[in-house]
Structure 1
Amino acid sequence: MKKLIVGACAFSLFAVISCKKEAKADVSSTGTDSLATTMPKDSVTTPKTDSVTSTPATASTDNILTKNTGKYPNDIKLFEDKSFANRVKKLTGAQYDEMLKNFNVESPIVSENGIYKVTGCKQHDCPGYLTSIFYDSKNDNLNVSIDKNGKVADFAEKGKITVTEALKSK
């Protein structure tokens, strides 16, 4: 009986791991530049900082994104964080539910000079439905960009965040 229970547990664990790997493999197999942000969890690089950008985040800008660089949205339950989810919902309005439904294949949270980025796209149709979320911790500004088959809808709280090419390609 013990062998049967141990075997069932091992099989369940294997199924969960292989499903997660398959979802992440879907992103890397698309070959699009916009999805170059998907990296294994252990290969996240630390962004360069200088004396101007190394100011620590204040309490008002310390949030789920700034505290979880390198982690995947699903692992930290990003959209279950009420503060974050409410801001994104307020910003995207009627498109929020569709965006959330299609935020399946994810990139880890990356940052550069106080700007944080996370992306998610529709499983098996990443180039067709891609959401990019940017957060400027210095100005407490959130931007969301939803690309539906090349038609991009941009949403900005306090103006468009300037994103470097390096951050775009992470």
Structure 2
Amino acid sequence: MKKVITSAVVLMMLGTVVSCKKDANTQSSVSTDTLATVLPKDSTVAPKTDSVKAVASTVATLEIITKNDEKYPHDIKLFEDKSFAERVKKLVGKEYDVMLKNFNVEGPIVSDNGIYKLHGCKQHDCPGYATYIYYDSKNDNLNVSIDKDGKITDFAEKGKITVSEALKTK
């Protein structure tokens, strides 16, 4: 009998996690509260948290950018947001520390049709070292472009984001 109850609880949790993943892909904003699984006090089964953390991380990155349109990255402490910083670090690798050090002079977060742009450059040498970060909220795709004295290096998570002329000029 105990095996049957334990199996039922495991299946219920798995269904909840799969359901949450599907909801996260179809909605633009999911509360992390909907991702919690409540187990009976006497349950010996540990909740599976890997999938839940991945979905919550994606949502957090989406929100730190999309909910702060027209705000400056420094004002919202963008690079202190763990999920955002981890994705950028993973994307640019060894360039991260230099990029962060030279992200002094900033423009506000701007957007056009679900694509967001962040810009920062080196103080007193803005054209010499500039970073552009693009986020496609519809496809959860992050791109970083680093311009060092005219030599541009592009980094893309899921392919290059097509940026409109309107967003380029903002």
Deviation per residue, 1:40-63 (Å, 9 max, x gap):
xxxxxxxxxxxxxxx972335532
Partner of 1:125: 125
| 2:9 corresponds to | none
Point out where structure 2 has 5 or more consecutive residues left out of the alignment: 1-25, 31-57
Query: Match of 1:86?
Result: 86
Cross-structure match for 1:58:
29
SS state at 2:152 partner = strand
The equivalent residue for 1:96 is 96
| Amino acid paired to 2:136 | D
Shift of 1:79: 0.2
Q: Deviations over 1:63-95 (max 9, x none)?
A: 211010010011000100000000000000000
Q: Distance in 2 between matches of 1:73 and 1:114?
A: 18
- TM-score w.r.t. the length of structure 2 is 0.66
SS at match of 2:66: coil
- CA distance in 2 between partners of 1:113 and 1:105 (Å): 25
Query: What is the CA–CA distance in structure 2 between the aligned matches of 1:78 and 1:92, rounded to whole Å?
Result: 16
CA distance in 2, matches of 1:69, 1:80: 17
Partner of residue 35, structure 1: none
Unaligned runs of 5+ in 1: 1-54
- Structure 2: distance between partners of 1:57 and 1:111: 16
AA partner of residue 68 (structure 2): N
| Distance (Å, rounded) in 1 between the aligned partners of 2:28 and 2:166 | 21
Tell me the residue number matched to 2:134.
134
Which ranges of 4 or more aligned residues in structure 1 deviate by more than 4 Å?
A: none
TM-score (normalised: structure 1): 0.66
- How many Å separate the matches in 1 of 2:63 and 2:147? 25
Closer/same/farther in 2, CA of residues 56 and 116 from structure 1, 3 Å limit: farther
The structure with more helix, counted as a fraction of residues: 2
Task: Say which one has the larger Rg.
Answer: 2
Distance 1:115 1:151 in 2: 24
Distance 1:130 1:57 in 2: 30
Give the secondary structure class of the aligned counterpart of 1:76: coil
**Partners of 1:148 and 1:99 in 2: how far apart?**
10
- Between the two proteins, what is the percent identity of the paired residues? 75
